[in-house]
Structure 1
Amino acid sequence: MTTRILLATRNPGKLDELRRIVVKRGLSDVRVLGLSDVEEFAEAPETGATFEENAVAKAYDAAKATGLPAIADDSGLSIDALGGMPGVLSARWAGRHGDDEANLRLVLGQLQDVPDERRGGGFVSAAAFVVPDGKEIVVRGEWRGTIIREPRGSNGFGYDPIFVPEGETRTSAELDPAAKDAASHRGKALRSLLPHLQEYAEAG
């Protein structure tokens, strides 16, 4: 029997990432759906002070509205020289939600005078798995690196083109999907949820 699990996102990159991770784990009886695969429902704004709060709220909303077990993640870029910002505001740092180009350019402008040795930062992802009966699991993944001065690469989204992970010379947007999945903040968080997805599927 196939177990349907909803990933509460409209971001095709995130959806593809979880599907790849599920396939690699061998969970052939788990089918990952996105928000475009279910009836539309009112989505609450992201008002949490932490990635974890936002992830849990999104997953609860999705599970309650659809009756499906739901995963939601909230992720963003934390830059040392900006005191950890843009953080939970990463997707709307320039003022409009989801304007990747404007967000990226604003960050580069804010770091213009910051020397290379102080341009450290990292991606953070909190992922929540909520089932309709109210059980929740929350995990966190981090990916440290450096913020470069000009974008490179086209394989990612968001801030990927200006982030070079530790131990790499390529940006996140220059990595192939398999390499990114293996190292990224979201990949780490989602893989931490896999045993719980497997347990849920086997119990169903």
Structure 2
Amino acid sequence: MFNEFWVATGNKGKLTEYKMLLEKEFPDMKIHHQGELPTFSPRPEDGKTFEDNARIKARTLKAVKQGVWVLGEDSGLEVEGMNNLPGIHSARYAGPKASDSENVAKLLKMMALKPLKNRNARFYCSTVVFTPSGEEWVVTGEMKGTIALKPAGLHGFGYDPVFIPEGQTQTLAELGAGYKNQHSHRANALRALIEKMKAL
């Protein structure tokens, strides 16, 4: 039942996180991603919510991979003082092909234009999974924290260099993979998924 799991992502950082968490729980599971399919072309992520976009990814991959576990995920950063921006635009905040550092730079610039006293933020993850029988599951996860004044740390990806988790004084990029795999929004959503899988 748990021998083949496909993840609808081209993001190597996300894939590494999924592999570390899933292989620990299901050692015999083979984890694949959309980049292994020679003719796969992702659909535009034009949903209005994280869940919409996660479902688009999962359904597109499910159309070519049936009878296996298929996961689509969309996640991003919401900053309270910026009306929860960048939100679903997190990966493309500084432009369609923006690098992580460009997105971080734009975020800090926007927060400095109108100096924000409220730097509270959260990473949010919505995950849509299709079981081998085609049933749809939705799980979510979040990690709360604040936005640092400047980037710090060399680990992780995305906004990790400026996100300080609740109760910590260092950014995710300083805390490293061990901390992130225990506490991240994606890890929290995945743990909820694993509980559902084990309950079958």
TM-score after normalising by structure 1? 0.90
Q: 1:40 to 1:196 in 2, by over 3 A?
A: farther
Separation of aligned partners in 2, 1:134 and 1:98? 35
For residue 102 of structure 1, give the secondary structure of its aligned residue in structure 2: helix
Aligned match of 2:37? 38
The count of corresponding residues between Structure 1 and Structure 2 is 199
* 1:44-55 matched pairs, under 5 angstroms: 44-55=43-54
Q: Do the aligned partners of 1:78 and 1:84 also contact (CA within 8 Å) in 2? A: yes
* 1:111-126 matched pairs, under 5 angstroms: 111-113=111-113, 117-126=117-126
Separation of aligned partners in 1, 2:137 and 2:115? 40
Fraction of identical pairs, as percent: 37
For residue 6 of structure 2, give the secondary structure of its aligned residue in structure 1: strand
For residue 111 of structure 1, give the secondary structure of its aligned residue in structure 2: helix
1:107 is the counterpart of 2:136: no
Amino acid at match of 2:191: R
Amino acid at match of 1:143: M
Aligned match of 1:92? 92
Deviation at 1:57, TM superposition (A): 1.4
Q: Deviations over 1:66-105 (max 9, x none)?
A: 2242111100000011101110010111122452111111
Q: Deviations over 1:104-153 (max 9, x none)?
A: 11100011155574111110001111136431101111111110111111
CA RMSD between the two structures? 1.9
Amino acid at match of 1:193: L
Separation of aligned partners in 2, 1:51 and 1:182? 22
Separation of aligned partners in 1, 2:197 and 2:74? 18
Deviation at 1:198, TM superposition (A): 4.2
Amino acid at match of 2:63: K
Q: Deviations over 1:7-43 (max 9, x none)?
A: 1111111111111111332x12211111222333121
Give the 4+ runs in structure 1 shifted more than 6 A.
none
Q: Do the aligned partners of 2:156 and 2:176 also contact (CA within 8 Å) in 1? A: no
Amino acid at match of 2:165: P
Q: Do the aligned partners of 1:56 and 1:138 also contact (CA within 8 Å) in 2? A: no
Separation of aligned partners in 2, 1:180 and 1:127? 17
Q: Do the aligned partners of 2:7 and 2:31 also contact (CA within 8 Å) in 1? A: yes
* 1:177-188 matched pairs, under 5 angstroms: 177-188=177-188
Q: Do the aligned partners of 2:156 and 2:173 also contact (CA within 8 Å) in 1? A: yes
Q: Do the aligned partners of 1:63 and 1:131 also contact (CA within 8 Å) in 2? A: no
Deviation at 1:50, TM superposition (A): 0.7
Gap regions ≥5 residues in structure 2: none
Separation of aligned partners in 2, 1:49 and 1:2? 32
Amino acid at match of 2:60: D
Aligned match of 2:147? 147
Q: 1:17 to 1:55 in 2, by over 3 A?
A: same
Q: Do the aligned partners of 1:63 and 1:132 also contact (CA within 8 Å) in 2? A: no
Separation of aligned partners in 1, 2:2 and 2:122? 36
Amino acid at match of 1:166: E
Aligned match of 1:14? 14
Separation of aligned partners in 2, 1:9 and 1:22? 15
